[in-house]
């Protein structure tokens, strides 16, 4: 643990608290990188989705093609990097939060050559995960780089110390599925660009780009569910439960309402501005501010 030391006059008391040290803990590099990449990907694909929708509605001009290309370059070029960083994050979770890893993967038994599950639905009442595609040794290899490594299972943890396995597992599967879907979209774009020397503009491709915009943001939300629900019931791992940190200070609900209102107003203003810019008619080149040589020359009739 970083950012504090257990000790003092009372057993288990927290002393020498260092907030900066807590924020710059060993998880910071990988988790910050993972989130920054996700934010840039979602933003780029959100922009690309807007222009792809415009092209589906018949706006096939240079302005829309360049907007689509810019969004795709920002969003899709980071997809393979995010896969590598995601693997780095999973290995870090395996080392520091093995119970979260077990919930992510629906792993109930502590065993060597643990299977990697693709899909599936955890059933806590039966302590098993059904309907998954299973790869023997896959989880052991991804988590520890050794297909024979032992992976801790949820059965070794008291039920009150387990996260919501169903929610965490399904959210993780959604995040991973969207990530690999974006990777496939990037491959499609790259192959078409190399073979045809231009971006694809068929309806299937444009529909895929339109879907990729909201899907990228859905992946971010699923990732936050994995992060925050997966660490439950702890707010400080193995030291303080989330329930113990609930404040009794009066007026907190008003702070919550105020925060929601501020973000709702910001979101509304941003949406209104973007829609206004999108509907604003573009002036033809040379209509205003262009040199005289670039403006159309009117014919003179004598």
* pLDDT confidence of residue 8: 56
When pLDDT is averaged across residues 5-32 and rounded to a whole number, the result is 76
Domain spans, the chain? 24-243
When pLDDT is averaged across residues 101-129 and rounded to a whole number, the result is 93
172 burial type by CB count under 10 A (0-12 exposed, 13-18 middle, 19+ buried):
buried
> How many percent of the chain have pLDDT more than 70?
87
pLDDT surpasses 60 at 168:
yes
* pLDDT confidence of residue 59: 84
Task: Supply the mean pLDDT for the chain.
Answer: 86
* pLDDT confidence of residue 282: 56
pLDDT surpasses 70 at 18:
yes
C-alpha–C-alpha distance, residues 119 and 239, integer Å: 32
* pLDDT confidence of residue 281: 55
* pLDDT confidence of residue 278: 65
More confident residue, 215 or 245: 215
pLDDT surpasses 90 at 6:
no
Token pair of 49, please? 């989705």
204 burial type by CB count under 10 A (0-12 exposed, 13-18 middle, 19+ buried):
exposed
* pLDDT confidence of residue 201: 83
């Amino acid at each position: 643990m970083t950012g504090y030391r257990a000790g003092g006059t009372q057993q288990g008391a927290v002393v020498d608290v260092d907030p900066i040290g807590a924020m710059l803990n060993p998880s910071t590099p990988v988790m910050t990188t993972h989130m920054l990449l996700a934010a840039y990907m979602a933003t780029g694909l959100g922009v690309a989705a807007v222009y792809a929708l415009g092209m589906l509605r018949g706006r096939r001009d240079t302005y829309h093609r360049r907007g689509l290309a810019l969004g795709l370059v920002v969003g899709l070029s980071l997809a393979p990097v995010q896969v590598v960083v995601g693997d780095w994050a999973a290995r870090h979770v395996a080392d520091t939060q093995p119970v979260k890893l077990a919930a992510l993967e629906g792993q109930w038994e502590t065993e060597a050559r643990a299977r990697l599950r693709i899909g599936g639905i955890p059933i806590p009442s039966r302590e098993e995960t059904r309907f998954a595609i299973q790869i023997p040794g896959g989880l052991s290899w991804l988590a520890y780089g050794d297909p024979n490594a032992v992976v801790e299972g949820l059965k070794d943890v008291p039920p009150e110390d387990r996260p919501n396995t169903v929610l965490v597992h399904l959210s993780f599967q959604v995040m991973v599925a969207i990530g690999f879907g974006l990777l496939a979209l990037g491959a499609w774009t790259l192959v078409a660009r190399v073979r045809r020397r231009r971006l694809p503009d068929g309806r299937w491709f444009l529909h895929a780009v339109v879907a990729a915009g909201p899907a990228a943001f859905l992946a971010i939300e699923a990732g936050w569910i994995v992060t925050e629900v997966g660490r439950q019931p702890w707010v400080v791992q193995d030291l303080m439960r989330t329930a113990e940190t609930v404040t009794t200070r009066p007026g907190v609900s008003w702070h919550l309402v105020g925060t929601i209102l501020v973000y709702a107003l910001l979101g509304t203003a941003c949406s209104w501005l973007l829609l206004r810019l999108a509907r604003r008619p573009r002036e033809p080149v040379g209509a205003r501010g262009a040199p005289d040589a670039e403006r159309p020359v009117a014919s003179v009739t004598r």
